[in-house]
Every structure is written in C-alpha cells, then in structure tokens.
C-alpha cells in the first residue's frame, strides 16, 4: 500500500473534500439516519456517568426501595438505548460506506479507462492501482467513519465539559488544566514511537527484497560465487532491524511508564481535589464519582481528536491525488456498435504534411513532414531501423497520439471528423508483443467482438491457424492461457491475437513486426494466417524480416522520421546504394 502524504489543510483541499461528498448524496437518507443514531448514542453515553453518580448518592442515603431501583432501571434503559442506537449507527454507516466506496471506485475506473494513452505513459500502473484501492479506501473511511467520530467526540467533549461545569466549575477548571495536557503529550509521544515502527517496516521490506532478488537470481549468485557476499548483506540488514527495534523498545517502555504516571497521576490529582471540595461540602460523593468518569471520557476523547486530525490531513492528501486524475481530460468515446453509415471506412489513407513529437520529448521530432497516400485494400510495408518512427505511424492512425502538425485523411475526410470509437473499431492492431488476458482462449479471441457467437470464434481461430494447437488442448477453447498468456508459446499467442483481429473484421489492419521473434515453423503458420487476414483490407505491415513483405504493393523506407525510399521490392532492390537494398543484402546474406 502506497503511503499517502499528509497535506496542510488549505481552502483548495477543503473544496476538493466537499466535492467528494457528492458521492454520498445518493445515499443521504441512510447517512442522515446514521447521524441520528450517532447523536443518540453519544448523548446516551453522556447520561451514563451522571446516572452512576446519582446511584452512588442514592446508596449513601440508604434509599434502596425508591430512588436506587429507579436509577438502576434508568441505567439499564440507557444501556439498552445506547446499544440499540450503536447497532443501527454501525449498520447505516457501513451500508453508506460500502455503497459510496463502490460508486467512487467505479467512477475512478471509468474515468481512468477513458483517459488518453499519453496519460498512462506518464504514470506507473502500481501508482494508479493505489489510487483505486488504498487511497479510495482512505477517502471513504474519512467520508463516513472519521466525520462521524469527529462529531461524536465534539458532542462528548462539549457536553461533558458543560455537565462538569454545572457540577463544579472549580473542579472543572482544575481538570482542564491537567488531563488535556497529559493526553496531548501522550499523543505526540505515540507518534514519535510510531516513527520507529515505520522504520522497522521499511528495513524489513528491504531485507525481504534481498531474499527475493537473491533466490530469483540464485544461478547468478552461484555462478559468481557470491553466497557469502549475500549472507553478509542480509546479516547487516537484519542487525539494523534489530537495532531499531531495541531502540523502539526503550521508547515504548518509557511511553508505558509515562502513561501510568501521567494518566493515573492526573486522575489521582482530580480525585484529590474533588475529595477536598467534598470535605468542604461543595460537592457530594455521587458528583465526584460522575466527575471522575467524565474526566476520563473527556481526556480519552481529546487524545482521539489528534488522531482524527491526522486522518483528515491524510484524507486531504489523498483527495488531491485523486482529483489530479479527475482533472485529466477524457477521450470522447461512444458505443462502437453504433457506427453511422457516413463513418464507415473504405480504407484509403492519406498523410498530409504530418509531423510528430512526443509530449515527453518536445525537442525530438519523431516524424517530419510525411506525405503519403495508401489506396484501399493495398498492403503497404514500413521498413527502417529501430526508433525510425514506424510504430509511431501506427499509434497516430489509431489516434492514440495526435500529430504535432499536419493531418491524417481517411477516405477524403479528416480523422477528426470521425468519432474515436468509430475509427478504432474499424482498425485492428496485431503487435509484436502480444498481450493476452489471464482467462481462457475463448475469452481472449472474443475480445475482438464480445457479442460474437462460439461458431464465429471457432471460424476466426481456424482462419488464424490457431485450431492446430487448440484442438490438442483437453479443454479446447476453454483452456486457461495464464497471466499475459504465459501458458502458450510465442507463435500460439500471435495466432490468438490474429484470431482476435479476424473476429473484429477491420477495414484497416496494422501488423507491428508480428513475426520477428518467432521460430521458422511458427513464422510459417503465423505468416499464412496474416496473409488470409489481409485479403480485402488495407494493410500496414511494420516489418523487420524483409522476406515477409516481398509481395507488398508498396514498401516505404523510413529513416530519422522521414520517408527516404518508396516502391515495390523489385524497384527498391534496383536502387544502387539504397537503404532497402543494403538491409536486404545483409539479411539474406546472413
């Protein structure tokens, strides 16, 4: 869990906090009932010490038949009321907590998934996952429990001090001069000790990292004969943990001694002062008894207020982190199943004066003044060294990024004339590094079109040459592929990705080095599946192995973000000192 930084309470932070209360609004009736039962249970808890004091006075007077029994019954009734109110308070607040937590998580996830790709390029997955899990849990706890606890503590402190002042204002002033100070010192002392606990946790985490890395890389450890080096490294780390733990133990012992001396000393002082006032007839025994209990209530509650304030600081910090995400602009998405007729692509693509720089690298131009027309249903191959800008063209076609300048034209219409969802639903990407979800083969193929029937999925798998291995599995389409498809080979994963693209039935197909890391047999099967998939579609192939693109209608050689050569395989081979010719000679010679 990521530690949420504490923030100073500012006007901006408070505004963000109040904005979050809109998520409670749909459940405001239950929340109001929870507040009602909270106030009722708090008031009942204030009545309890008062009745105990009257019970003591009644016993001193020997009034067993009348007052004593009446007060005892009132105490029982107060306990019952407090128990019932506490039960319903917890039930209503838990209901509101869970419903609001679900709504807040849904809203955050829905917003995250609609954000553009550039946002995810700047943020780590673990950080974003923390926003949805730990931070929202913290926010929700504060939205309900912390606020409720704050109100309860205010009621107890203000009500308790008022009742004490009515009983004896002299003893009240004496109590307020001692107990709150002792409790606040205890709180700050406790925070100081918790710092050591965090240090111990951090050092334990580091020591666990040593164990994990060493065991994962045990072959390297043994190959370099570094067993004793690792033993000493772990030894030093565990000694540091022990040293911090022993130092923390001394402070915990001092804290325990302080609590015994301070808290009980303060109670002794209040009782001593109360006994003196009782001896002079200012208060009676029952009032002193109630006073001592109220003093304990108020002291403990004042100590709890510091923790509530700390939670509020964390809450404001988490709120700012969350609203940083909410302030990011979403992509304008729509239901991809509702494409209008005028948004249907025929497959013709034109790049007009296209240039691009990544926002994270504004000084480096990745593509420079690209002008190109790709007729519909043609196969165009992009060739060039790593970093030349080939994959960037694919991301621009899908509008995962926007050009720095220039335009992309689909069928004589600017790409911005199409909705994002309509455009992307008609373009399929088969990448080199295929991502499969951890479920079944069927679930992964159907991701291309979730509404597809099993018969359509089987047909897509057959066209992708995937049935060749699917039929060998006992569970067929229901075979679990494992996290990121680790239970399948590279060629099998590629064919699942191709089947997914077949099922999507796109007008434009982008193949990003789909066969570059496969063995010869897998490459043959995958290439055959790709050739079937490209029939009747505009296809853009980013190629590393030039043998796979010999039959392309057009080959574009990209160097330093510019198209430097263009033509068929035979035309480019005929260019003396051409880049394509040199690449081809190097590969085929090898």
More confident residue, 583 or 141: 583
195-222: average pLDDT: 72
Tell me which of 267-271, 354-358, 469-473, 560-564 is least confident. Answer: 267-271
- Residue-level pLDDT at 588: 62
Which pLDDT band holds residue 3 (cuts at 50, 70, 90)?
very low
Assigned CATH topology for domain 434-505: Rossmann fold (3.40.50)
- Residue-level pLDDT at 60: 56
More confident residue, 153 or 314: 153
- Residue with structure tokens 């969802």? 421
- Residue with structure tokens 């107990």? 179
Mean pLDDT, rounded, of the chain: 76
Question: What's the pTM?
Answer: 0.65
**Is residue 505 over pLDDT 60?**
yes
End-to-end CA distance of the chain: 51
Torsion sign, CA atoms 62, 63, 67, 72: positive
CB 464 within 8 Å of CB 495: yes
Which pLDDT band holds residue 143 (cuts at 50, 70, 90)?
low
- Residue-level pLDDT at 494: 82
- Residue-level pLDDT at 2: 42
Tell me which of 101-105, 190-194, 212-216, 279-283 is least confident. Answer: 190-194
Q: Which residues contact 568 (CB under 8 A, 6 or more apart)?
A: 552, 553, 554, 555
* Three-class DSSP category at 379: strand
> Any long-range contacts for 314-317 (C-beta under 8 Å, 24+ apart)?
314/4, 314/6, 314/138, 314/142, 315/17, 315/138, 315/139, 315/142, 315/146, 316/7, 316/8, 316/9, 316/10, 316/13, 316/14, 316/16, 316/17, 317/4, 317/5, 317/6, 317/7
How many CA atoms lie within 13 Å of 335's alpha carbon, on the beta-carbon side?
4
Q: Which residues contact 241 (CB under 8 A, 6 or more apart)?
A: 200, 203, 204, 207
- If DSSP states are collapsed to H, E and C, what string results for 304-362? HHHHHHHHHHHHHHHHHHHHHHHCCCCCCCCCCCCCCHHHCCCCCEEEEEEEEECCCCC
Per-residue pLDDT reduced to its tens digit, 15-54: 655 667 777 788 888 888 888 888 888 777 777 666 666 6
Tell me which of 57-71, 202-216, 223-237 is least confident. Answer: 57-71
Per-residue pLDDT reduced to its tens digit, 354-381: 888 887 777 788 888 888 888 888 888 8
Distance CA 426, CA 538 (A): 11
Q: Of 461, 176, 426, 411, whose CA–CA distance to 294 is shortest?
A: 176
Tell me which of 8-12, 124-128, 329-333, 385-389 is least confident. Answer: 8-12
CB 145 within 8 Å of CB 93: yes
Phi/psi of residue 448, each to 5°? -65, -30
DSSP structure class, residue 547:
G
CB 501 within 8 Å of CB 463: no
Per-residue pLDDT reduced to its tens digit, 79-113: 888 888 888 888 888 888 888 878 888 888 888 88
DSSP structure class, residue 131:
I
Report the range out of 142-151, 244-253, 359-368, 399-408 with the highest average pLDDT: 399-408
To the question of domain 1-167+305-331 being in CATH 2.40.128.20, the answer is: no
Phi/psi of residue 355, each to 5°? -135, 155
Q: How many CB atoms lie within 10 A of CB 550?
A: 14
């Amino acid at each position: 869990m990521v530690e949420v930084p504490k923030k100073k309470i500012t006007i901006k932070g408070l505004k963000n906090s109040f904005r979050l209360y809109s998520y409670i609004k749909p459940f405001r009736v239950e929340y109001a009932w929870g507040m009602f039962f909270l106030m009722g249970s708090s008031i009942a808890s204030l009545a309890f010490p008062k009745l105990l004091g009257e019970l003591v006075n009644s016993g001193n007077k020997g009034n067993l038949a009348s007052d004593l029994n009446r007060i005892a019954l009132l105490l029982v009734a107060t306990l019952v009321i407090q128990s019932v109110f506490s039960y319903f308070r917890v039930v209503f607040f838990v209901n509101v907590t869970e419903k609001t937590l679900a709504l807040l998580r849904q809203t955050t996830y829905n917003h995250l998934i609609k954000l553009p790709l550039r946002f995810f390029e700047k943020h780590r997955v673990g950080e974003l996952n923390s926003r949805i899990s730990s931070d929202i849990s913290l926010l929700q706890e504060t939205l309900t429990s912390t606020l409720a606890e704050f109100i309860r503590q205010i009621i107890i402190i203000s009500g308790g001090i008022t009742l004490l002042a009515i009983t004896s204002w002299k003893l009240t002033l004496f109590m307020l001069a001692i107990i709150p100070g002792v409790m606040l010192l205890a709180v700050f002392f406790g925070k100081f000790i918790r710092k050591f606990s965090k240090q111990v946790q951090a050092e334990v985490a580091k020591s666990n990292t040593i164990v994990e890395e060493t065991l994962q890389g045990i072959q390297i450890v043994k190959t370099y004969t570094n067993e004793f080096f690792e033993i000493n490294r772990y030894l030093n780390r565990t000694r540091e943990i022990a040293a911090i733990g022993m130092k923390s133990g001394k402070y915990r012992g001092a804290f325990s001694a302080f609590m015994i001396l301070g808290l009980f000393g303060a109670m002794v002082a209040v009782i001593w002062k109360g006994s003196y006032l009782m001896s002079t007839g200012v208060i009676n025994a029952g009032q002193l008894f109630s006073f001592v209990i109220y003093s304990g209530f108020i002291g403990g509650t004042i100590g709890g207020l510091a923790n509530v304030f700390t939670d509020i600081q964390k809450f404001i910090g988490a709120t700012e982190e969350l609203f940083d995400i909410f302030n990011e602009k979403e992509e304008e998405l729509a239901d991809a199943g509702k494409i209008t007729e005028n948004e249907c692509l025929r497959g013709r693509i034109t790049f007009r004066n296209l240039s691009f720089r990544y926002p994270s690298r504004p000084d480096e131009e990745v593509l420079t003044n690209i002008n190109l027309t790709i007729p519909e249903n043609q196969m165009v191959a992009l060739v060039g060294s790593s970093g030349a800008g080939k994959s960037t063209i694919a991301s621009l076609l899908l509008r995962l990024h926007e050009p720095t300048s220039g335009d992309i034209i689909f069928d004589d219409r600017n790409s911005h004339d199409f909705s994002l969802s309509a455009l992307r639903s008609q373009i399929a990407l088969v990448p080199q590094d295929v991502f499969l979800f951890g479920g079944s083969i069927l679930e992964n193929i159907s991701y291309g079109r979730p509404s597809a029937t099993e018969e359509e999925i089987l047909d897509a798998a057959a066209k992708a040459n995937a049935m060749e291995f699917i039929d060998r599995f006992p569970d067929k389409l229901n075979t679990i592929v494992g996290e990121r498809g680790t239970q399948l080979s590279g060629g099998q994963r590629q064919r699942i990705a191709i089947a997914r693209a077949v099922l999507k039935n796109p007008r434009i197909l982008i193949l990003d080095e789909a066969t570059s890391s496969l063995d010869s047999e897998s490459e043959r099967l995958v290439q055959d599946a790709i050739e079937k998939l490209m029939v009747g579609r505009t296809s853009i192939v980013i190629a590393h192995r030039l043998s796979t693109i010999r039959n392309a209608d057009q080959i574009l050689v990209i160097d330093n973000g510019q198209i430097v050569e263009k033509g068929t395989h035979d035309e480019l081979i005929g260019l003396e000192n051409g880049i394509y010719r040199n690449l081809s000679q190097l590969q085929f010679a090898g």
